[in-house]
Amino acid sequence: MIRAMAGLIALLFVLGLLTGGAGFGWPDPAIILELRLPRTLLALLIGGGLGLSGAVLQGALRNPLADAGLLGIAGCAGLGAVVTFYWGISEAFAPALPLGGMIGAAIGCAALVLAAGRAPSGPSLILAGVAVSAIAASLLAVALTLAPNPYALAEITFWLMGGLDDRSLLHLALAAPPIIAGAAVLLRTGPGLDALALGEEVAASLGRPVGATLRATSLGVALAVGAGAAVAGGIGFVGLIVPHLLRPLLGERPAALLPAATLAGAALLLAADLAARALPLLLPLAEEPRLGVITALLGAPLLIRIALRSAP
Amino acid sequence: MIELRSAALRLGDRTILHDIDLRIQPGECVAICGPNGAGKSTLLRALAGLLPGTPPRDPRRCAYVPQGARSAWGITVGELAMLGRLPHGDRAQPPVDRALDLCGIAPLRDTRIDRISGGQARRAMLARAFATDPAMFLLDEPTADLDPAAQHAIMALLSATARAGSGVVLVVHALDLATRYASRMLVIDAGQVLADTTPEAALPIAARCFGLPLGRDPMPRLLPP
């Protein structure tokens, strides 16, 4: 299973290096190095971070609807990145961009943990997340409109729908370390997530109190999703879909899903980014569709299916 | 040994537990009885160190099974029992196999916990506690949802476990089971310990506490195996 996914990722990675705006084929090495390699590696890292974050959030909140996008964490990350980017902070100090994203994501996580403390795993948690998400999206639009920037409308769609076009090696260097650190934190939450399956009291009696698990989850998600959203905008649904795709294959034990969710998230975002690049070659499109549009088109029908299946 | 000294708990303006001093020795099988809302589950949580102000327990030596038998995810019975190894940080198979055998659910090992009956799920939760191999079991109504034969089987298992040297504390509503299998009975009402003695001596106090007469039942009834 893991080996098959690794093979799929390798295949998508090579296809990613060979596909570009000019068509399919082996271009100038400079194009590979400057454009396609950072873009493909970013899709791999960000997708892996999103898939893993989704699996950990669903386990920690014991809610199959939990996802960094749906809960507003990604929106807060985008807002943080926009503030540092359009007020020139990241121009003076490049690492401010992922830092802004991570701080935004951390604020989103904190809001969520506060809500979870009052109503753990219930529908009100998702409602709170949707509200945080809406606030973040509105503030992001306000921030972009107020910023000294003539392309505000185009930029709003980028930050809300995400994209990896024109990302450089600098973006890769900024985003990779926090995403990898976040993934390392998240991959270690497995035992805490398993213990939480039986409720907070049993988790505490097993020596895995819920507070420690939620803190590690918040830290890891803030790093992985925050840094990802800072360079690629808000890419929704990857974290939501991936655990649902894997449960029929691997069972429902939360810890058992984590490594596979990382790989599946990476494969999914690589494939979505490949589709975004290939579609203008196949269809008469003026420009690439946004990455978040493609993941939403994949994810929304699945969300409907989950909703219908869990209905009484 | 497990000890709880002058534990008191207030929720809002209601006192759930009054000053309670308890000491449970290895080899004891202690039944906590009392009316609904008396504070039985709260006392068990206090013993487990799960209430604010109570001393935390070593999770490798003390296994706690709450009243509900639900899992957030559809994990298998085997995976559920394996959770009992979390405090040890290993995934050792032999103690898990032994626990599943003891609780009589080894054949359901690969069945999802949400696809079995309530009684079977209860046994799976108990198997999780046995898999930890603890010195002390704290069990909230381990015989709820079980049929009469299974109730006797589980109570006999718990009583044998205590005789083998572990401590067992269980909340139980069925007084006949408590008197037959426990070595010590705690009767509590309104957060206070009314009796802490042998089951025979505690029974009249329990009867008073429930407002029921104590006597011999002339009706035919199922007997233990």
The DSSP result for chain A, as a single string, is -HHHHHHHHHHHHHHHHHEETTEES---HHHIIIIIHHHHHHHHHHHHHHHHHHHHHHHHHT-TT--TTTTTHHHHHHHHHHHHHHTTHHHHSTTHHHHHHHHHHHHHHHHHHHHHHHSTTSHHHHHHHHHHHHHHHHHHHHHHHHSS-TTHHHHHHHHHH---TT--HHHHHHHHHHHHHHHHHHHTTHHHHHHHTT-HHHHHHTT--HHHHHHHHHHHHHHHHHHHHHHH----SHHHHHHHHHHHHH-S-HHHHHHHHHHHHHHHHHHHHHHHHHHHHHS--SSPPPHHHHHHHHHHHHHHHHHHHH--
CA B51 to the chain's CA centroid: 17
B57/B140 same-domain check:
yes
B135 touches chain A (CB under 8 A): no
**What value does the mean pLDDT of chain A take?**
87
Percent of chain A topping pLDDT 90 = 40
What CATH superfamily classification does A46-310 receive?
ABC transporter involved in vitamin B12 uptake, BtuC (1.10.3470.10)
- Whether B140 and B129 share a structural domain: no
The whole-number pLDDT of residue B211 equals: 93
Nearest CA among A206, A192, A193 for reference residue B57: A206
Structure token pair of residue A281:
């070659």
Q: Are residues B149 and B204 in the same domain?
A: yes
Compare all CA atoms of chain B with the CA of A121 and give the residue at the minimum distance: B72
Angstrom distance (rounded) from CA B73 to CA B78: 13
Nearest to B24 by CA among B176, B153, B159, B184: B184
What tokens were used for A74? 């990604």
Each residue's pLDDT tens digit, B145-173: 899 999 999 999 999 999 999 999 999 99
State how beta strands B167-171 and B29-33 pair: parallel
Which of B139 and A16 is assigned the larger pLDDT? B139
Q: The domain containing residue B159 runs over which residues?
A: 1-61+136-215
Per the domain annotation, does B103 fall within a domain? Answer: yes
Where does the pLDDT of residue A116 fall: very low under 50, low under 70, confident under 90, or very high at 90 and above? low
Do B79 and A251 lie within an 8 Å CB cutoff? yes
pLDDT grade for A21, boundaries at 50, 70 and 90: low
- Name the CA dihedral angle for A195, A197, A203, A205, rounded to a multiple of 10 degrees: -100
CA A234 to chain centre: 7
Residue B166 lies in a domain: yes
* pLDDT band of B179, cuts 50, 70, 90: very high
Neighbours of B168 (CB within 10 A): 26
Residue B27: what pLDDT? Answer: 94
Structural domain count of chain B: 2
Contacts of A233 by beta carbon, 8 Å cutoff, 6+ apart: A78, A158, A159, A160, A161, A162, A163, A291, A292
Other beta carbons within 10 Å of B8: 13
**Is residue B86 within 8 angstroms of chain A, CB to CB?**
yes
CB contact under 8 A, A206 and B70: no
Q: How large is the average pLDDT for residues A249-258?
A: 95
ipTM of the complex: 0.92
Tens-digit pLDDT profile for residues A75-101: 999 899 888 887 778 777 878 888 889
Q: What is the pLDDT of residues B196-213, one digit of tens each?
A: 999 999 999 999 999 999
Q: What is the reported pLDDT for A312? A: 46
Residues B53, B140 within the same domain: yes
Q: Which residues of A touch B45 (CB under 8 A)?
A: 201
Strand partners, B140: B171
B12 plus B42 within the same structural domain? yes
Please check the confidence at residue B101 and state whether its pLDDT lies above 70: yes
Q: Which of A14-28, A199-213, A272-286, B180-194 has the lowest mean pLDDT?
A: A14-28
Q: For chain A, which residues make up each domain, given as ranges?
A: 46-310
Domain boundary among B94, B109, B133: B133
User: Regarding predicted confidence, which is higher, A279 or B13?
Assistant: A279
Distance (Å, whole) CA A231 – CA A137: 17
> Residue A156 pLDDT > 90, yes or no?
no
Give the torsion through C-alpha atoms of B160, B164, B166, B168, to 10 deg: 20
Q: Domain check: are B109 and B150 in the same one? A: no
Q: Are B221 and B148 in contact (CB under 8 A)?
A: no
- The pLDDT assigned to A52 comes to 98
When pLDDT is cut at 50, 70 and 90, the band that residue A152 belongs to is: low
Asked, for residue B162, whether it belongs to a domain, the answer is yes
Residue A118, pLDDT score? 63
Determine, for residues A201 and B59 on separate chains, whether the beta-carbon distance falls below 8 Å: no
Q: Is B63 on the interface with A (CB under 8 A)?
A: yes
In this complex, do B86 and A197 lie within 8 Å of one another by their Cβ atoms?
Answer: no
Distance CA A301, CA A263 (A): 22
Q: Are residues B166 and B206 in the same domain?
A: yes
